Structure 1
Amino acid sequence: MHPMLRKAIEASRLAGEAIRHYANQVQKLDVENKAHNDFVTKVDREAENIAIRLLQRAYPDHAFFGEETGKQGPDSDYEWVIDPLDGTTNFLYGIPQFSVSIALKYKGRLSVGVVYDPLRDETFAAARGEGATLNGRRIRVSERSSMQNALLGTGIPFRANQNLDLYLQTLKVLVPDTAGIRRPGSAALDLAYVASGRFDGFWEFGLNEWDIAAGVLLIQEAGGLISDMHGNNTHMSTGNVLAANPKVFKEMLKRLHPVMQKY
């Protein structure tokens, strides 16, 4: 196993332990609003600090970009991108769907990615050129050949500055023929589910780099495709993400084309 991937897994699991510790004490937590409908707790901060401290001890010359602490560390070709608790709202409401996401970029290119589900004890991991795994076993995207009976994941816009009308148009063209749409609430896990074949495809607008970095590499290493809604390679910067196995991806992109031409 790639040594930096091993460290990323260790960091994600330690952060996950802290999250599990607080999972039954949510009512006692102070909750802050970073923005409207964007919550943060001491759990987010503690989990992020745990992950960063472990990685800093191993790699003191690396840079870090955390959801809660922002950018820190020296200028470096190596940058860790960390979402300590993806799905904070689910966590606060007792919905068991949240995760830790840790990725490493080398010279701007994703090289390591881990998404850890602390409640199910599932570790989705990937290193560039080495494939993707779930708890050490190799995973691949689904083999579904069309949108017929495909199961798709998504995220529904809920903030005032998001274009709900555009999203509803995409939903309208993607729903037909499918087995249904799921909105679990942790984009990092949604992408891991595409990588492992649990979802055939996924789309969402306006995600952050820390939400998707690890998941992007998981999908690529599991044989899937990921892009923005136009099929271009801007998903890391725009946060507009379309991901699926190659055949479903092609059909999703085709259906989205007449909608996205207007934007």
Structure 2
Amino acid sequence: MVTLFADHLHTAIRAARAAGAIHLAYAGRAFGVRSKTTLGDLVTEVDTLAEAEIRRLLLADFPEHAILGEEEGLVGEIREARWVVDPLDGTVNYAHGFPVYCVSIGFEQHGERMVGVVYDPTRDELFTAVKGEGAFLNGQQIQVSTTEPLATPALLATGFPYNVAQDARNLDLLRRALALGLPVRRAGAAALDLCYVACGRFDGYWEFGLKPWDAAAGSLIVEEAGGRVSDGQGRPTPYGPMIVASNKVLHEELLGMLR
């Protein structure tokens, strides 16, 4: 039962559902789209509207907390209590009408991830976790898979940075995985990839270059579902140059393949 962070969880759920409602309201309609840094790094007016609504709801309940959002950066007084927000993870998918995108909201206290909420409005799937209290999908507890070894074969997922033409490291890793006969999926929404590891749909996942708002919520959900999250060297952090998440039993083997 949720105790210490119940208010944080409830506020995050309310904010995630509100942002998801904005996603659905604009889906299929004309809206502004522009590139932020590279051709594939898109932002829409829906990203901006969703983040504004999330910030409004978070600050209504926690007015002094800091909020790190993908669109507006870090704002707030109490940096030790920080919300980490991706208002629309999978913007490229959303802009093209491909229904794989979500809202991701994490809460950190003194740098430790305490609450994670990821909401997929197209499937009405709400993934939640509070540190030490398990992970849930629409209120039902979830667990990672038990698949091992990789050659079973495990179902893996990955993603690519927007500057893949300049940073081809993951192309080499993908080629290595495929050469081993491993099925690999690339859906385009990191927070959902992590949640799919948490509920056993994927056995493992890796990606280069994620930002904190991509991984803060989903990584906690994986860990609370019994999985393991590390950087490419096996260190227990979701914020390294590479993130690796798995069902734990094949984590070392997955790390070995990626090295």
Q: Secondary structure at the match of 1:190?
A: helix
In structure 1, the partner of 2:248 is 246
C-alpha offsets along residues 53-81 of structure 1, whole Å, 9 cap, x if unaligned? 01100011211000001111113321000
**One-letter identity of the residue aligned with 1:224:** G
C-alpha offsets along residues 219-256 of structure 1, whole Å, 9 cap, x if unaligned? 11011011111112354143x11110112212101222
In structure 1, the partner of 2:24 is 20
**One-letter identity of the residue aligned with 2:72:** T
In structure 2, the partner of 1:139 is 142
Q: C-alpha separation between the residues in 1 aligned to 2:206 and 2:167?
A: 14
C-alpha offsets along residues 167-223 of structure 1, whole Å, 9 cap, x if unaligned? 122123333143x11000100000000001000000111111101110110011011
Q: C-alpha separation between the residues in 1 aligned to 2:99 and 2:246?
A: 24
Q: Secondary structure at the match of 2:232?
A: coil
In structure 2, the partner of 1:261 is none
C-alpha offsets along residues 71-125 of structure 1, whole Å, 9 cap, x if unaligned? 1111332100000000000001110000000000000000000110011000000
Q: Which moved more, 1:74-83 or 1:116-125?
A: 74-83
**One-letter identity of the residue aligned with 2:36:** K
Q: Does 1:100 align with 2:103?
A: yes
CA contact (8 A) 1:77 1:107 kept: yes
**One-letter identity of the residue aligned with 1:22:** Y
Q: C-alpha separation between the residues in 2 aligned to 1:157 and 1:39?
A: 12
CA contact (8 A) 1:156 1:204 kept: yes
Q: C-alpha separation between the residues in 2 aligned to 1:234 and 1:220?
A: 11
CA contact (8 A) 1:114 1:123 kept: yes
Work out which of the residue numbers 202, 222, 225 in structure 2 matches 1:222: 225
Q: Does 1:187 align with 2:155?
A: no
Q: C-alpha separation between the residues in 2 aligned to 1:183 and 1:75?
A: 37
Equivalent positions of 1:101-250 (< 5 A) are 101-147=104-150, 148-159=152-163, 162-164=166-168, 166-175=169-178, 176-178=180-182, 180-238=183-241, 240-250=242-252
Q: Which moved more, 1:8-17 or 1:248-257?
A: 248-257
How many residue pairs match? The answer is 252
C-alpha offsets along residues 125-146 of structure 1, whole Å, 9 cap, x if unaligned? 0000000000000001001121
TM-score (norm 1): 0.92
**One-letter identity of the residue aligned with 2:205:** F
Work out which of the residue numbers 4, 7, 12 in structure 1 matches 2:8: 4
Structure 1's unaligned 5+ residue stretches are 258-263
**One-letter identity of the residue aligned with 1:184:** A
Displacement of 1:158 in angstroms is 4.0
CA contact (8 A) 1:113 1:125 kept: yes
Higher helix share: 1
Structure 2's unaligned 5+ residue stretches are none
Work out which of the residue numbers 34, 37, 45 in structure 2 matches 1:35: 37
Displacement of 1:3 in angstroms is 2.1
Displacement of 1:149 in angstroms is 1.7
CA contact (8 A) 1:225 1:249 kept: yes
Q: Does 1:61 align with 2:100?
A: no
